[in-house]
Amino acid sequence: SYLQLQSQSELIIRVEDQLRRAERLSTLGELSAILAHEIRNPLASIRGTAEILLEEGTSAASKGEFLGILVKESDRLNRVVEDFLRMARPDPISKIPCDLNEELGNMIILLSAEARASEVSLQLAPSPLPQFTGDGQKLRQAFMNLILNGIQASPVGGRVDISTLFDRESGSIVIRFSDKGPGISPEAIGRIFEPFFTTKGNGTGLGLPITKKIIEGHGGTLEVESEPDSGATFKVLLPVSRVTTP
């Protein structure tokens, strides 16, 4: 009967809701376990360094060195916690008109000193784009993560190429971030967007997952193409809801 079908339908909806909640809790539990592991390492280093500083006979020069370790590990701990909070509790995405070419240009200016320090150049090849409506602040964070990723992967004398174009067929803005670094191994490329996965000694492993979440929050996708010793290209696709002539 109609009432039985309605009851079964409501039951299915309740079960699906319970499954979604269980999945969220399971994911949160896994992330919390990984976070605890990531926090434990710098905490152990901080404690060990503090114990050495408490020992009698430690020279002033050694104390200065150990205090530097304390500051470094404290900063590392802070980065892990801040990145985790961005991942676990993202702010709502605002929708305002923004010029993506301008945002990318601003990020290149902001990161130019870091690029010079690494002896890496940044090159932007912009194409005319339609107006995009999105969260400029969050997109700047995503672009910064991808440019920094390219700088860190590049060898001395290398270059990070950033390009934009509008794909009329798909109705999407395409942004590419390419480097000529060592590339990403087949084993790592399947895990590169997993929280806390990193191939860098000083990374938190949350930059790319946060970036992916920001792009997906705008209805877009983040893809990576790479082969060992051939560099890597991260491709951002952002759908344009209403196309205006560039």
The per-residue pLDDT string of the chain (246 residues; one tens digit each, 9 = 90 and over) reads: 445 555 556 655 665 555 555 555 455 565 665 566 566 666 777 777 777 777 776 777 777 777 887 777 777 777 677 766 666 666 678 889 999 999 999 999 989 988 999 999 999 999 999 989 999 988 998 999 999 999 999 999 999 999 999 999 989 999 999 999 999 888 888 888 887 777 766 666 778 888 898 999 999 999 999 977 889 999 999 999 744 433
- Using alpha carbons, select from 122, 148, 146, 158 the residue that is nearest to residue 230: 158
Q: Which residues pair with 236 in a beta bridge?
A: 175, 222
Contact residues for 213 (Cβ-Cβ < 8 A; gap 6+): 87, 90
Per-residue model confidence (pLDDT) at position 105: 94
Contact residues for 18 (Cβ-Cβ < 8 A; gap 6+): none
Tokens encoding 35: 């976070």
Per-residue model confidence (pLDDT) at position 139: 94
Contact 160, 177 (CB under 8 A): yes
Helix intervals (H) in 92-171: 100-117, 136-153
CA 107 from centroid of its chain's CA atoms? 15
Alpha carbon distance 238, 246 (integer Å): 16
Per-residue model confidence (pLDDT) at position 165: 97
| Cα distances (Å, whole numbers) of residue 78 to 87, 91, 181, 203, 223 | 14, 19, 28, 12, 28
Contact 151, 114 (CB under 8 A): yes
Contact 177, 162 (CB under 8 A): yes
Per-residue model confidence (pLDDT) at position 9: 60
Per-residue model confidence (pLDDT) at position 55: 75
- Using alpha carbons, select from 161, 159, 139, 152 the residue that is nearest to residue 211: 139
Q: Which residues pair with 167 in a beta bridge?
A: 172
Task: Fill in the amino acid letter for 173.
Answer: I
Domains in the chain, start-ordered, CATH in brackets? Answer: 2-88 (1.10.287.130), 96-239 (3.30.565.10)
| Cα distances (Å, whole numbers) of residue 190 to 35, 38, 69, 135 | 21, 21, 34, 28
